[in-house]
Structure 1
């Protein structure tokens, strides 16, 4: 697998900080919700939300790349979905259309092999970096508390992004 990163535009989204993709007060509410709902300290909740925003931005910019959130990053995505109006505005601005997240009961699927999952995580991290965003490796590394290899997604051409887990989900983008 070969991925080329264009460093000519290190921040194609206009920011290198995922927090800047949403208003500061919204970021604070999202992080507080994660902290409360998942019993994590505020700094960890902020890291989770920051990586969820980076993941969504990368997914929007790299449709068809087969990107994968870790379960910790997925917590941030699920939390953002609770704020439907703000989430819709974010999607329109960053992705050019709404990024849907739907339940998916398909427990197995094409990426059930450890090697396939590892490739998806590597592609996701490269896409986040290519979008000019930092990667918080602890939230993605199974050995350090992340479990990115337990989930898979496919941000397919035509704007569909699919994420699966034990009871997974998928998202699709509409214009």
Structure 2
């Protein structure tokens, strides 16, 4: 099995965990660590399988938001993965809900070589913890947005979010 922490330095990982805690007063460090770990797994799977429609859970999206705020480590991680994974936030909308999106995403993360922390991959009604992330994502190839190899080269190019 792969180790998600290896995609960031210990200092960068700790900084992202601290951001999740800062954004969610009262959250404990072990929970924030789990959230960031799952977000890294999600980004890795999105980079490995850019043609598959996946989306993060609301809880994991909190970790992804924190990762993105640490632009240097996030860019370096994406460079290691060979593809920049862009974030395209949308306001929550029940009409866009895909009941199979999280199941498909979890399966892809497992296919990418990870053990999934399933408690963090539930819908908002059964989320392990409340988080401040208030966006949802229509499942799109590459995870939350069109990933085009020509557009998302590892050295510049592509559009940010």
TM-score class, shorter-chain normalisation, is 0.7 to 0.9
Take 2:40 and 2:86, find their aligned partners in 1: how far apart are those partners?
15
Take 2:115 and 2:140, find their aligned partners in 1: how far apart are those partners?
20
**Unaligned residue ranges in structure 2 (runs of 5+):** 154-161
Alignment partner of 2:11 out of 25, 28, 44? 25
Take 1:144 and 1:87, find their aligned partners in 2: how far apart are those partners?
25
Q: Aligned residue for 2:128?
A: 145
Match runs of 1:102-121 below 5 Å = 102-104=88-90, 107=93, 111-112=96-97, 117-121=98-102
Q: Is the 8 A contact 1:59 1:155 kept in 2?
A: no
Output one character per residue of 1:94-137: Cα deviation in whole Å (capped at 9) or x when no partner: 1x23222244469476x43xxxx232111100110011111111
> Are 2:40 and 1:53 equivalent residues in the alignment?
yes
Q: Is the 8 A contact 2:55 2:139 kept in 1?
A: yes
Q: Aligned residue for 1:100?
A: 86
**Unaligned residue ranges in structure 1 (runs of 5+):** 1-10, 163-169
Where do 4+ consecutive residues of structure 1 move more than 6 Å?
A: none
Question: TM (normalized to structure 2)?
Answer: 0.77
RMSD: 2.5
Take 2:92 and 2:121, find their aligned partners in 1: how far apart are those partners?
23
Alignment partner of 2:112 out of 111, 115, 131? 131
> Are 2:54 and 1:67 equivalent residues in the alignment?
yes
Q: Is the 8 A contact 2:46 2:85 kept in 1?
A: no
Matched residues, number: 143
Question: TM (normalized to structure 1)?
Answer: 0.71
> Are 2:72 and 1:85 equivalent residues in the alignment?
yes
Q: Which has the higher strand share?
A: 1
Match of 2:100, SS?
Answer: helix
